[in-house]
Structure 1
Amino acid sequence: MSASSVAPYAQTFCRAALANIGQEYPNHPGHVLNSAADLQSPRVLHPLFYGSYDWHSCVHMHWLLVRLLCDFPSLPQMQLVWQTLDAHFTEANVAAEIAFLQQPSRATFERPYGWAWLLKLQTALIEGAKADPRIARWRDAMQPLADLIGERYLHFLPLAHYPIRAGTHGNSAFGLLFALDYAECIQHFALRKLICDKANAWFGRDRRYPAAYEPSGDDFLSGGLMEAALMLRVVDGCSYADWWDVFCPPPHDLAAWLRPVTAGDRSDPKLAHLDGLNLTRAWCWKMIVPQLPDGLQTPVHEAIAGHLAASLPHATDGDYAGTHWLASFAFLALAQH
């Protein structure tokens, strides 16, 4: 990753993440109510991940703080970051999150998007502890929760015969990509093999992806580009160049991926997703561009710049519908080489 690209925004991202993880309301709970006892405040139900509008956004704002802590330890907010994360990453808080997930009807809670971000967070804590031993206490506190999510992947993936290609939280390629990071980080070979096998079964034979069908009106992920980024890591039986040659949309369709999209109303939580789409397109293009044909290099680099220009200013400035989560994707897009 390239910290230099993030540096001009690091303090702003840090302020946004700190504010978000401590903001309990407005809140969008996403769980089944098993009884009246579940009618409790977010902070009671989720003593660790109660802020940032919803559970998954709170998870990835914690990830953002960990990444900023590791990459920019001299930021003026870092003392507060240490204090905040110390208060959040406790064994008691993690135990409460696990207890919530183990209640009836919650086997599918946050599958796969929140699962993926939880494993991405734990990957950051594991890597961070290698550089700063103080992070090991957070890593160790969080490991039982990561273990539970890892087990759920191992149970779920063999049952999932078809991928979800939508550009929203259910997207299968996104869920596998971050789980793959975790599996490789801890050398969980069984999980890694399952992810690779499932990705190739789902996406390995795709032909002439219909990129002109994207985006749908509330996409924050590009189904096709997420797939292309995942296959860069797992393609089997051929080179990535060969896979791309068959997968690549026809020129008219491909042009849809090169043009930034416009969010019509950034106070609308669904329409605000489109700023996220611009950021995730830039992130995905950066991942795959070194492996693309020479003729695509210039258009893709121009597209990356255009997508960042369109939505980076809105990652931390504007309505809470976007600012409760966009900084995480802005970090991904900027930090990716």
Structure 2
Amino acid sequence: MQALAKDINTTNVSNPTAESELAVIDRFAELALACVHKEYPNIIKHMMVNREQVKTPKQLYPAFYGCFDWHSSVHGHWLLTRIAHQYPDNKHYQSIIASLQQSFSKANIDGELAYFNRVGTGTSFERPYGLAWFLQLITELRQWQSDEAKIWLTTLKPLEDKIVANISAWLPKLAFPIRVGEHSQTAFAFGLMLDWSKTANEQPMQQLLNRTIMRLYGSDVNCPLAYEPSGQDFLSPCIAEADLMRRVMDKKQYRQWLSNFLPDIPTNNDGSWLTVANVVDKSDGKLAHLDGLNLSRSWMLEGIAAGIGKDDKRYGAIMAAANAHKTAGINSVIHDMHYMGSHWLGSFATYLQTQRGLH
């Protein structure tokens, strides 16, 4: 591990060489492989209506019981799928296929669906964060188009349909956006959901999401970026919203919206307008969220820059901030981590490093 960290630190992680990029990808795969079937420690979010519903994580969620909680397990499986799809020559490829095969059995997915249909679970389970990551997993499988992916897509389809139904029923009822820096934030989740709807060519859901996004965010101005981050954020409310809106606007419209929403982005190529976060105790799961904030800010800033284009005078300052956050975020994953970070940060690092949000 120390040798790997030393190797990565001698390169520019914002523009890695082929060798260093492969080492980084190996590291991300190792993190997910180590946790997707690791049942404990675990936090269960589970409403019990009687004593018979007191069960272990694996009994409750037979596919997504690892990686500390349901949503982290889901995006851990996405991480493995993403790496197998994008890096078929990765040295962990066969281990990844075996791990996904173990999770995505029909019996396991039937068990997951049974939990979603359980009396008392309700439609709010893992909404919106875990549900959005599940749809991102489906997006990756659909784009991969390997023989295994096609089989797994068929197996996962009933759970996909259930989750889409839950989201579709919820969106018209959502009167206000959820502007926090943790799991319940709607801007980040809507971005993943929208990307799924486009890949799946699900026009009704895409239209519903577009209407909801414009209704909740279209008139926003002067986002209070100076108040960020909160002490346990892993998502930026302001930056995530800006990254979302480039998905639903053309370039001209988006440039004007961004000027009203974040009017103080500089035009001098200086990235210091957005300060990189620092984690002082990686064993504290909430404080460790800030490593994830650096990663998510970086990919969202890259998305914002793509939305306005290189000829916009703000482009240089946005990309400078993105690169500073990327360096800090990737290094936090390469270095030795506590399980409070390692069970989930690899997914964020993979999303950033493989430019998932841009493609």
Post-superposition offset of 1:256: 7.8
Is 2:207 the partner of 1:189?
Answer: no
CA distance 1:190–1:257, change in 2 (3 Å) = farther
Q: Secondary structure at the match of 1:294?
A: coil
Amino acid at match of 1:61: G
Question: Given that residues 212 and 256 in structure 1 are in contact (C-alpha distance below 8 angstroms), is that contact kept between their aligned partners in structure 2?
Answer: no
Residue 351 of structure 2, aligned match among 327, 332, 335: 332
1:227-242 aligned at under 5 Å gives the runs 227-235=241-249, 239-242=253-256
Partner of 1:48 in structure 2?
63
Partner of 1:288 in structure 2?
304
Amino acid at match of 2:326: L
CA distance in 1, matches of 2:64, 2:53: 16
CA distance in 1, matches of 2:39, 2:273: 36
Give the TM-score, by structure 2 length: 0.88
Is 2:327 the partner of 1:313?
Answer: no
Residues 245-284 of structure 1: per-residue CA shift (max 9 Å, x gap): 11114359x9886210111211111000000000000010
Question: Given that residues 266 and 322 in structure 1 are in contact (C-alpha distance below 8 angstroms), is that contact kept between their aligned partners in structure 2?
Answer: yes
Amino acid at match of 1:137: I
Amino acid at match of 1:270: K
1:152-301 aligned at under 5 Å gives the runs 152-235=166-249, 239-250=253-264, 258-292=274-308, 294-301=312-319
Cα root mean square deviation, aligned: 2.1
CA distance in 1, matches of 2:47, 2:249: 37
Is 2:185 the partner of 1:140?
Answer: no
Partner of 1:37 in structure 2?
52
Give the TM-score, by structure 1 length: 0.93
> Once the two structures are aligned, what percentage of the paired residues are identical?
36
Q: Secondary structure at the match of 2:313?
A: helix
Is 2:82 the partner of 1:67?
Answer: yes
CA distance 1:251–1:290, change in 2 (3 Å) = closer
CA distance in 1, matches of 2:332, 2:221: 35
CA distance in 2, matches of 1:255, 1:197: 33
CA distance 1:235–1:259, change in 2 (3 Å) = same
CA distance in 2, matches of 1:174, 1:313: 23
Q: Secondary structure at the match of 2:208?
A: helix
Q: Secondary structure at the match of 2:64?
A: coil
In the alignment, structure 2 segments of 5+ residues that lack a partner are: 1-14
Amino acid at match of 1:196: N
Partner of 2:12 in structure 1?
none
More helix by share: 1
Question: Given that residues 271 and 321 in structure 2 are in contact (C-alpha distance below 8 angstroms), is that contact kept between their aligned partners in structure 1?
Answer: no
Residues 58-92 of structure 1: per-residue CA shift (max 9 Å, x gap): 00000000010011111221111111111110111
Is 2:119 the partner of 1:100?
Answer: no
Which portions of structure 1, spanning 4 or more consecutive aligned residues, are displaced by more than 4 angstroms? Answer: 2-6, 254-257
CA distance 1:39–1:92, change in 2 (3 Å) = same
Amino acid at match of 2:259: D
Residue 125 of structure 1, aligned match among 110, 130, 141: 141
CA distance in 1, matches of 2:71, 2:276: 25
Residues 119-171 of structure 1: per-residue CA shift (max 9 Å, x gap): 10011111112xx2232111111111111110111100000010101010001
Residues 184-206 of structure 1: per-residue CA shift (max 9 Å, x gap): 11111110001001101111111
Amino acid at match of 1:284: M
Q: Using the TM superposition, name which of 234-243 and 184-193 deviates more.
A: 234-243
Residues 171-194 of structure 1: per-residue CA shift (max 9 Å, x gap): 111111111111111111110001
CA distance in 1, matches of 2:263, 2:251: 21
Q: Secondary structure at the match of 1:322?
A: helix
Amino acid at match of 1:298: G
Q: Secondary structure at the match of 1:140?
A: helix
CA distance in 2, matches of 1:6, 1:77: 15
